[in-house]
Structure 1
Amino acid sequence: MELVLLGGIAALAGDTALDLGPARQRCVLAALAVDAGRVVSVDRLMQRVWGDEPPLRARATLLNYLSRLRLLLDGAVVRRPGGYTLEVERSDIDLLRFRELCVRARAADDRQAEALLRQALDLWQGEALTGVESEWAAAERNRLHQQLLDAECDLTEVQLRLGHGEDLVAALTARSGQWPLDERVAAHFMLALHRAGRTADALAHFRQLRERLVDELGTDPGAALQEVHQRILDNDPAHTRSSPETPAPRQLPGRPRWFTGRGTELARLDEALADGSTVVISAIGGAGGIGKTWLALHWAHQHAGRFPDGQLFIDLRGFNPTEQPVAPETALFGFLTALGVAPNRVPPDLDARSALYRSLIADRRLLVVLDNAATADQVAPLLPGGPGCTVLVTGRSVLASLIDRHGARHLRLDALARTEARALLAARLGTRRVAAESDAVDELIDLCGGYPLALAITARHAADHTLAEVAAELRDLGLEMLDHSTDPGASLSAVLSWSLRRLTGEHRTVFGLLGITPGPDTTLPAVAALTGLPSARARKALSALEEASLVERRDDRYAMHDLIRAYAATTAHDLPDDVRQAALVRVMDFYLHTAQTADRLLDPHRRLLPPDPPADSVRPHPLPDAAAALDWLQAEHATLLATQRAALVLGRHHVVWYLAWALDNFHQRRGHRLDALAAWQAALDAAAHLPDPATRSRAHRNLGNAWSQLNLHEEATRHLNQALAQAVRHHDLVEQAHTHRALAAAWGRRGDDQRAMDHARHALDLHRTLDQPVLEAEALNAVGWFAARTGDADTARDHCHAALALHRQHHNPAGEANTLDSLGFIEHLTGDHHQAVNHYHQALTLRRALGYAYRVADTLDSMGRPHLALGQHERAREVWEEALELYREQGRDEDAARVRRRLDALPPTRT
C-alpha cells in the first residue's frame, strides 16, 4: 500500500484503491504523512486542518477522523504521548522517498546523481496534495513545489556537467516561462541555448531578465548569473562542447510538441536502459495512429544526453501506402555515411555493410531509432552489437523473431488513459479552453476512446469550431469526420487501412466480420462460429490480426479498440450481404445454444424450452458442469445482451425470446435486475412475432417479476395479471401455476401478505395436480413463508419442512437454500435464535456455492438479527458489513441504507 502525496492524497495506491473519505479527513492524513514517524500534537493537527479559528466541535471531529483513519489504514495511525503519529515504512510515502533520493543524489557522482534525481522526479504525478484544502495545505503545497523546482534544477545542473545542452532547451524554455525571475533557471537556460549554437538567444535572455529584475524588483542579476553571462561572452571552453573531426550524427526528428502521458511506458523503457550488459532493444508495437513514433521520439530526446556518440534515425516505411518498405541495404548506406564513411567506400552487399556498421559503433554509446518497421528481417541487419548502444523499434506487427532471437523487450502501446487524453487536448487547445468546455471534452475523449490520432484530428477541427460542435459532428459522422481527403496520414481510416495490406483475403474477411459481431470482445469458439472456419484457421486469422495490432488478446479473449472496430465494420460492408448475414446468424446461434446449455446446468429442474436448431456448422461451446456454466455466463454476459439487441435488429425474434429465457436464472442469481427487465421487455416485443401463445404469457410473467423486483408494483401487477389471463385463456395450467407463484411474490413485496398467501396456495394446488414435485416444493416454501409473515408459525414450519424434504429428495440445492432461509426466519420469529442461525448458515453455504450473490446478501442481512438477539454483536456486525458491501455492489440503495442504520445502532467495537 502506498501513500501518494506528490499528485494525490484522495486515495491510497496499492492492491486496492481506498477511498479516504471527506476532504477534512484527507487533510488529517496529509498532516500526519508529511511528518510520518514523528508525533504531531492534536493542536497542531487542528491548526493544519482548520487554521487559527477552528469550529466549536473541531477536536471531537478530529478524533473521529483519526479513528476512521486508524481503521482504514489497519492501525498505522497510532496514539502517542503528546499526539498522534503515522507509523509506516518510509518507502510507503512518495514524499519521503523523493526527499531521500534528492539527498542521496547530492552525495553521488554525476552519473549516479542523474539516475537518482530522475527516480525522484518520476514520483511526481501532478499537483501535490490533490483534494486537500486548508491554509496549511496551500502553504505546504507551495513548499513542496519549490522542492520540486530545486530537484529539477539539480538534475539540469548534473546534465549540464555531463555535457548536455541542446536536448535541454525545450524543457528549460517551459521552466523559464513558469519561473521567469529565477536566476538559477535562467543560468541553465542560457547555457543550454549557448551549447545548442543559439548564443545570441542566450545573451538576449540575460538582457530581458536583467530588465525585468530592475523594473520589478529594483535589483541587478546576482553574481552567479553574471558570471555565466560573462563566460558565454568569452566563449569559455567549459561551457562549450568540443566537436570531433566527424560530427556525431544527430538524426532525431524534432521532439513531439504535444506529447503527453505514457508514464508507465516511459518507465518500462527506462528499466530496459538500466541493463547495460548487452545492446538494449525495445520494440514498441501498436495500431496505426496509437502514438508509437511520438513515444519513441519523446523518450529518445529525454535520454539523448546518455548517448554522446549520437543518434541515428530512419523511417523504414513498413506501412506506407505509396512506397515499398526501406530495404536494410538502403538504411545501412544512410547510417554508414552519417558515421563518416565516404559513399564510395560503402560495401556493396548487405552482410558487408552490416559488419562495417557494427565495427564502427562497437565501442560507441549510440541511440538507434528504427521507426515503422514491417518485419524482423528488415530490422535485424541494423542492430548494433556493442553493449553501449540502445535501439528503439516501432511497428504495427509483433516482431516475434526479434524478441526470440535478439532479446528485444516488447512494449505494446494502447489507447491513452482519460487523464492523458485530457492532457493532450489541453496541450493542443489550451488549458483554459479545455476547462471552459469540460463536458464537451469528456464526450470527445469518450468518442475517440483515447486514440491519439483521433484526438489530434478532433483538436485540428476545433480550431474553427466549439468543442461541443466538434463532439456533435464526431457523434453523428464517426469515422467520416476523422478522414482527410488530401492527406492520408491525417486520416484515421487511411492509416488503419495500411495495416491490411499484408493480410490475406481470408484474414481481411475475418477482420471485417469482427467489426459487426455483437459484444465488446470475443473468443476463439465464437470467432469460429462467426466465420464458419475450422478452429485452427480461425486461430491463425486471429493471430495474424493480433500481430498486425488490429486486435488485442487478453487471456483467451480478443478485443478491438472502438475506432478500429468501427473501421472494421466499414470493411465488412464490402462483403456480400449474404456473407454478413450468414455470419451473424451463426454467431447468434452459437451464443443462444451455449446459453441454453449453461442455463440447463444451473437449473436442471427448470422446464426445458428448446429453441430452433442452430445453423449448420455451429457447435455450442462445451460446458462440463454448473461452475463452468456460471463462469461462461459471467464472462459473456455483456456479449449475450448485445446479441439479443442485434437479433432484434436482424428480426430473429426467436433468438431474442429464448436468450431472455436462458439468461433469466443467471440474472436472478447475480441480481442483474435492470438487465432482466430490458431482456424481457425485448422478449415481449419479439413474442408478438412468434406463433406459440405461451411465449407471450411467459414474457408477461417474467417482465412482471422483473418490475416487481424493482419495487415498481403497478407495472408488475399489470403484466402478471395479463400473464395469468392469457394462461387461463389457453388452458395452460403450468403457466397458471408459475404466474400464481410470481403474483404471490409480487404481493408480498407490496406488503399484502394475505393476498400473497392466496396466490401461493393456488400455485401449490396446481403444482400438486400436475405432479411436479420440485415446483410443488417451491410452492410449499412460498406458503410457509407467507404463513410465517401472517403469524401462523406452525403452518409455516410444517410447509417448509415438507418443502425441504422434497428439495433434498430431488437434489435441488437452490430450492433447498430458499427453504432453509425461510426456516431461519421462522425460528427467529418464534425465539429459537440458535436454530435460526443454523438454518441461515446452511442457506448461506448453499447460496455461495451456487453463485447466488443476490440471495447471499439477503441471507446475510437476515442472519444478523438472530446474532443480535443472542447478544453476538461482533458477529452481527460482520454479516451486516458483508451484506452492506453486496447491496452496494448490486445497486440496492434502500437495502444498503437499512443495513447501514442497523450497523450505526450497534454498540461501538471494543479496542
Structure 2
Amino acid sequence: MSSVRTVFSWSYRRLDTATARMFRLLGLHPGRDVAAPAVAALAGLSVREAAAALTALARVHLIAEHRPGRYSFHDLLRAYATDLTAAEDTEAERTAALHRLLDHCLHSARAARRHLAPARGEVPLPPPVTGSVPHAPEGYEEAMAWFEAEHAVLLAVADAAGPAGFDGHAWQLPLAMGDFLHLSGRWHDWVTTQRTAIVAARQQGDRAGTALCHCESGRAAIRMRRYEEAHRELLRALELQRGLGDLTAQADTLRTLAWSYEQQGDYRAALQRVEQVLELQRAVGNLAGQAGALNNIGWCHTHLGDHEKALARCREALRLHLDGGSPLGAAYTWETLGFIHHAMGQYAEAVDSYRQCRDGFRRFGNRYGEADALHHLGGSLRMTGDQEAARDAWHAALAILDELDHPDADVVRELLLTAAG
C-alpha cells in the first residue's frame, strides 16, 4: 500500500497549487463520478477553471474521463485524496467546500424539477453560497437529461448531507428529485430517499418541510401500491399543512390523496378530494393547478358514468394547459380524453387522443406514462379493427414495462397471448 501511495505522490507533487487543492477536495465528493460544474462549486472555481484542472488530473492519471465530460477515480485514489484534504485543508475549508457542492446540487435540482412539475409547491431556499453556481436547465427535455446524468450523484450527496450536518439539504434534495424518480420509474429510490428526508426535516424542526416530505413519501407509497402507508403519510402531511394555513400545500396533498383513492377504485371519494383541490387552486390563483384538478375531476366523472360532464371538464383542462404552456399537463389530459372517448364507443377519437398522450410522454421521458398510453392505445386500435397495430402498441408497452420491472407488464403480456390465440 505504501508503494502505491508513493506512486500517487509523484503525480500529486507535479500539480500546480490550485489543481492539487482541487484533487484533495475531490475526496469530499460522495458520488462515483463528477462533472466540471459540480467540481467548480466544490473548489470555488469557475467551470472553465475546473474543467482545465480535471483535464490536468486525467493527464497524470489521478482521475479518468470514463465518459465525455465525466470523471471518476479508483477507490485507492479517492482514499488518498481524502487523507490529503484531512491533512492539508482546515475543517472550515472542508466544510465550506461541501456546502458549496450541496448548494450546487440542491439549487440545480430545484431548477430542473420546476420544468417537470411547475404546479408543485415548494419551500423557498436561501441563495447559494458564494462560489456555488447552480446549473439552470432550459425546458423539460434538458431538465430530464440533467437528472439522468446526475441522479446517482444526487442520491449519494443526499445520503451524505445529514451525517455532515446539513439537515436542510438532506430533506430538500430528495424532494427536488421526487418528480424525476417518479417519471423515470426509479420508485424504490423514491421511497428510500423520502424516508431519509422525513427524518432530516424533523431533526431540523421544519414543519412545512416535514409535511412536504410526508406528502412525497405518500406519493411514492401509492406508486408502490402501499395504500395504507400512503394514507398515513398524507393525513399527517395535511394535519401539518392545515396548522400552517398553507393552501397550496394542502391542494397538493389532497390531490395525492385523491390519486390514492383512484388507484383503489373509489372514485366518489377521489372526486370529493379533487373538487376541494380545485377550490384551493382557485383561491390561490394557480392556473396550472386548476387545469390539473379539472382533469382529475373529468377522470372521476367518467369512471362514475357521466362521460359528457367528464369531456367538458377535460376540454377545459386541456385549454388551460395549452394556454399556460404546460405540455406535460396536456399529455395527462389527452390520456383522460382517450379513456372517455373509448368509454363512449368513439374509438377513432380515442386512438387520436392516446397517440397525442403517447407522443407527449415520450417527448418528456415519462417511461411509465408512455407505456400506459401504448397499453390503452392498443385497446382502442383493436376496437377499430386494426389488430396488427394493436399488437405493435402492446409489444412496445411491454418492452418498457419489463424494463421498469412493473407489475402491469403481466397485464399486457396476457393481452398479447390472447391476441395471438
TM-score by length of 2: 0.94
The Cα of 1:568 is off from its aligned counterpart by: 2.1
Distance 2:58 2:412 in 1: 48
Distance 2:262 2:312 in 1: 20
Distance 1:897 1:866 in 2: 19
Distance 1:776 1:558 in 2: 44
Distance 1:530 1:616 in 2: 11
Aligned to 1:895: 408
The Cα of 1:684 is off from its aligned counterpart by: 1.2
Contact 2:109 2:176 (8 Å CA) reproduced: yes
The Cα of 1:803 is off from its aligned counterpart by: 1.3
Contact 2:121 2:252 (8 Å CA) reproduced: no
Aligned to 1:521: 33
Distance 2:363 2:180 in 1: 14
The Cα of 1:692 is off from its aligned counterpart by: 4.3
Distance 1:863 1:654 in 2: 44
Distance 1:564 1:732 in 2: 49
Q: In the TM superposition, what whole-angstrom CA distance separates every residue of 1:229-280 from its partner, at most 9, and x where no partner exists?
A: xxxxxxxxxxxxxxxxxxxxxxxxxxxxxxxxxxxxxxxxxxxxxxxxxxxx
Aligned to 1:460: none
* CA distance 1:903–1:686, shift in 2 (3 Å): same
* CA distance 1:616–1:904, shift in 2 (3 Å): same
Query: Over aligned residues, Cα RMSD in angstroms?
Result: 1.9
Contact 1:611 1:658 (8 Å CA) reproduced: no
- The one-letter code of the counterpart of 1:657 is W
- SS of 1:782's partner is helix
Q: Does 1:572 align with 2:81?
A: no
Distance 2:207 2:24 in 1: 39
* CA distance 1:626–1:510, shift in 2 (3 Å): same
The Cα of 1:666 is off from its aligned counterpart by: 1.7
- The one-letter code of the counterpart of 2:292 is E
Superposition map of 1:504-653 within 5 A:
504-553=16-65, 554-574=67-87, 575-607=89-121, 609-653=123-167
Q: Does 1:822 align with 2:314?
A: no
Q: In the TM superposition, what whole-angstrom CA distance separates every residue of 1:195-215 from its partner, at most 9, and x where no partner exists?
A: xxxxxxxxxxxxxxxxxxxxx
- The one-letter code of the counterpart of 1:671 is G
Superposition map of 1:765-784 within 5 A:
765-784=279-298
Distance 1:862 1:708 in 2: 21
Contact 2:37 2:47 (8 Å CA) reproduced: yes
The Cα of 1:742 is off from its aligned counterpart by: 0.7
Larger helix fraction of residues? 2
The Cα of 1:505 is off from its aligned counterpart by: 4.1
* CA distance 1:727–1:496, shift in 2 (3 Å): same
Higher RCO, 1 or 2 (CA under 8 Å, sep at least 6)? 2
Superposition map of 1:393-412 within 5 A:
none
Contact 2:119 2:286 (8 Å CA) reproduced: no
Q: Does 1:878 align with 2:392?
A: yes
Distance 2:245 2:304 in 1: 32
Distance 1:637 1:509 in 2: 26
Distance 2:179 2:60 in 1: 40
Contact 2:31 2:156 (8 Å CA) reproduced: yes
Superposition map of 1:193-342 within 5 A:
none
- The one-letter code of the counterpart of 1:765 is E
Q: Does 1:799 align with 2:313?
A: yes
* CA distance 1:493–1:617, shift in 2 (3 Å): same
Q: In the TM superposition, what whole-angstrom CA distance separates every residue of 1:295-350 from its partner, at most 9, and x where no partner exists?
A: xxxxxxxxxxxxxxxxxxxxxxxxxxxxxxxxxxxxxxxxxxxxxxxxxxxxxxxx
Contact 2:109 2:173 (8 Å CA) reproduced: yes
* CA distance 1:788–1:589, shift in 2 (3 Å): same
Match of 1:861 among 375, 379, 382: 375
The Cα of 1:494 is off from its aligned counterpart by: 4.2
Aligned to 2:219: 705
* CA distance 1:624–1:726, shift in 2 (3 Å): closer
- SS of 1:573's partner is helix
Contact 2:182 2:220 (8 Å CA) reproduced: no
- SS of 2:420's partner is coil
Q: Does 1:677 align with 2:203?
A: no
Structure 2 spans left out of the alignment, 5+ residues: none
The Cα of 1:652 is off from its aligned counterpart by: 1.2
Distance 2:138 2:229 in 1: 39
Contact 1:867 1:873 (8 Å CA) reproduced: yes
Distance 1:726 1:705 in 2: 17
Contact 1:605 1:812 (8 Å CA) reproduced: no
Distance 1:798 1:507 in 2: 62
Aligned to 2:208: 694
Q: In the TM superposition, what whole-angstrom CA distance separates every residue of 1:738-769 from its partner, at most 9, and x where no partner exists?
A: 22111111111123222222222222232233
Q: In the TM superposition, what whole-angstrom CA distance separates every residue of 1:536-565 from its partner, at most 9, and x where no partner exists?
A: 443333222111111111211111123322
Distance 2:200 2:22 in 1: 30
Distance 1:681 1:827 in 2: 40
- SS of 2:160's partner is helix
Aligned to 1:904: 417
Match of 2:181 among 667, 686, 699: 667
The Cα of 1:691 is off from its aligned counterpart by: 5.0
- SS of 1:558's partner is strand
The Cα of 1:863 is off from its aligned counterpart by: 1.0
Q: Aligned pair count?
A: 419
The Cα of 1:689 is off from its aligned counterpart by: 3.5
Match of 2:271 among 742, 754, 757: 757
Contact 1:611 1:654 (8 Å CA) reproduced: no
- SS of 1:533's partner is coil
- SS of 1:650's partner is coil
The Cα of 1:835 is off from its aligned counterpart by: 0.7
Distance 2:163 2:187 in 1: 23
The Cα of 1:600 is off from its aligned counterpart by: 2.4
Q: In the TM superposition, what whole-angstrom CA distance separates every residue of 1:621-660 from its partner, at most 9, and x where no partner exists?
A: 2434332222111111111111111111112122122212
Distance 1:530 1:581 in 2: 10
The Cα of 1:871 is off from its aligned counterpart by: 2.1
- SS of 1:906's partner is helix
Aligned to 1:29: none
Aligned to 1:835: 349
Distance 1:505 1:664 in 2: 39
- SS of 1:671's partner is coil
- The one-letter code of the counterpart of 1:572 is T
- SS of 1:518's partner is coil
- The one-letter code of the counterpart of 1:872 is D
Contact 2:123 2:208 (8 Å CA) reproduced: no
**Which 10-residue stretch deviates more, 615-624 or 597-606?**
597-606
Contact 1:671 1:890 (8 Å CA) reproduced: yes
Distance 2:344 2:123 in 1: 42
Aligned to 1:790: 304
Distance 1:536 1:818 in 2: 41
Contact 1:670 1:854 (8 Å CA) reproduced: yes
Distance 1:537 1:787 in 2: 58
Contact 2:375 2:412 (8 Å CA) reproduced: yes
Superposition map of 1:4-153 within 5 A:
none
The Cα of 1:614 is off from its aligned counterpart by: 0.9
- SS of 2:71's partner is strand
The Cα of 1:706 is off from its aligned counterpart by: 0.6
**Which 10-residue stretch deviates more, 497-506 or 803-812?**
497-506
Contact 2:121 2:248 (8 Å CA) reproduced: no
TM-score by length of 1: 0.44
- The one-letter code of the counterpart of 1:781 is N
